[in-house]
Amino acid sequence: MTELKNDTYLRALMREPVDYTPVWMMRQAGRYLPEYRKIRATAGDFMSLCRDAEFACEVTLQPLRRYPLDAAILFSDILTIPDAMGLGLYFETGEGPKFERPITCKADVEKIGIPDPEDELGYVMNAVRTIRKALNGDVPLIGFSGSPWTLATYMVEGGSSKAFTKIKKMMYTDPQTLHLLLDKLADSVISYLNAQIAAGAQSVMVFDTWGGVLSPRDYKDFSLQYMAKIVDGLTRFADGRAVPVTLFTKNGGMWLEDIAATGCDGVGLDWTIDIETAKARVGDKVALQGNMDPSMLYASKERIEQEVSKILAGFGNGGTGHVFNLGHGIQPDVNPDNAGYFIESVGRLSKPYHQK
């Protein structure tokens, strides 16, 4: 494989010395970019964009042409695994993802199998290989998956939800069935992410978007233990170097110590926790990723710079172990120039924190 020209992101996740704080954005390839909207129209629909390796590659590279980002992230969707399990994923305009055949009982769980990542999910691996080749070693490629709990919420609810009543009903009335589903999903995620690593992903991330809707005890039982199983099952060394693993639970600030104890390399933070507090709690056990409020990108450039400066100061001197990011995905109506100013500000303002 081509040698990396910029491995700052990987070194920061492994808490090694770096010259500046690396930065990338969740959903950096997406609707806020006019060039994305153009290619999305050409593809016809979202999943067609994901299933075509050349389209997925082009969309992944678009933000890198605009901004000095320190990582690329695979353009895909967290619902690829449930889709490959035969649940009939489709997208309703203005309503988000839905499933034709949601999980309702134990028999439904028993029917689904663990998808073969090079067969039912082969289009994702083709995209990884295509993107990795096109990057030509400029920056690392991040692979990803949804967490078992987050995937299960969509599979049981039949789509997006605000109250999560169906999956919580299953959790409290038939926990064995839900655990069976979560265990299958954990095995599927391990297989899926290891295949991404084999195809060329140099770091992987697990998005636990809906872990924060759980009580502390339920979070540990129904979300965290399955992410810990994934961490234990992942390939952690490839292409002659470590493959860092980052876990991100939205609204998961109260469980930082438990997340860090899984053996992951990095913990993602949303904007509801102060990064100085988070660092004090986990010490140097893991790297931290985050954590500017995505809505800050609506602000003036002066205000954006102030916030970047505040977060960098919160993480502090020595600077190793911080990957700057938003606390969740960039909003689709953000001005791309503001995103560019944010990224430039991180690079410029972080350098003093890394001087020996």
Question: pLDDT digit string (tens) for 182-200?
Answer: 999 999 999 999 999 999 9
Cα 238 from chain centroid (whole Å): 20
Whether 303 sits among the annotated catalytic residues: the reply is no
77 annotated to bind ligand = yes
262 annotated to bind ligand = no
**pLDDT tens for each residue of 131-185:** 999 999 999 999 999 999 999 999 999 999 999 999 999 999 999 999 999 999 9
Domains and CATH numbers, the chain: 8-354 (3.20.20.210)
The CA-CA-CA angle for residues 245, 246, 247, to 5°, reads 125
**pLDDT tens for each residue of 212-245:** 999 999 999 999 999 999 999 999 999 999 999 9
Residue type, 330: I
42 annotated to bind ligand = no
Among residues 11, 40, 51, 132, which one is catalytic? Answer: 40
183 annotated to bind ligand = no
Among residues 31, 66, 101, 236, which one is catalytic? Answer: 31
What phi and psi, each to the nearest 5 degrees, are found at residue 272? -85, 0
Among residues 9, 154, 192, 219, which one is catalytic? Answer: 154
Residue 247 pLDDT exceeds 90: yes
Task: Give the residue among 268, 313, 305, 315 at the shortest CA–CA distance from 24.
Answer: 268
Whether 77 sits among the annotated catalytic residues: the reply is yes
Helical H runs in the chain? 8-13, 34-43, 46-51, 53-66, 80-84, 106-111, 122-135, 148-157, 165-173, 175-199, 216-219, 225-233, 256-260, 275-282, 301-315, 336-350
**pLDDT tens for each residue of 19-58:** 999 999 999 999 999 999 999 999 988 889 999 999 999 9
340 annotated to bind ligand = no
Cα 41 from chain centroid (whole Å): 25
CB 80 within 8 A of CB 122: no
Half-sphere exposure of 21 (CA within 13 A, CB side): 32
Among residues 7, 52, 70, 77, which one is catalytic? Answer: 77
353 annotated to bind ligand = no
Whether 11 sits among the annotated catalytic residues: the reply is no
Residue type, 178: L
Among residues 27, 101, 236, 241, which one is catalytic? Answer: 27
Q: Residue 353 has what pLDDT?
A: 94
Q: Residue 92 has what pLDDT?
A: 74
Whether 65 sits among the annotated catalytic residues: the reply is no
**pLDDT tens for each residue of 57-104:** 999 999 999 999 999 999 999 999 999 999 999 887 777 899 999 999
As a whole number, mean pLDDT of residues 248-271 equals: 98
Residue 130 pLDDT exceeds 90: yes
Whether 341 sits among the annotated catalytic residues: the reply is no
Q: Residue 91 has what pLDDT?
A: 84
Separation between Cα atoms, residue 16 and residue 5, nearest integer Å: 16
28 annotated to bind ligand = yes
Please name the residues in contact with 158: beta carbons below 8 A apart, sequence gap of 6 or more: 98, 99, 102, 166
As a whole number, mean pLDDT of residues 255-273 equals: 98
Q: Residue 1 has what pLDDT?
A: 56
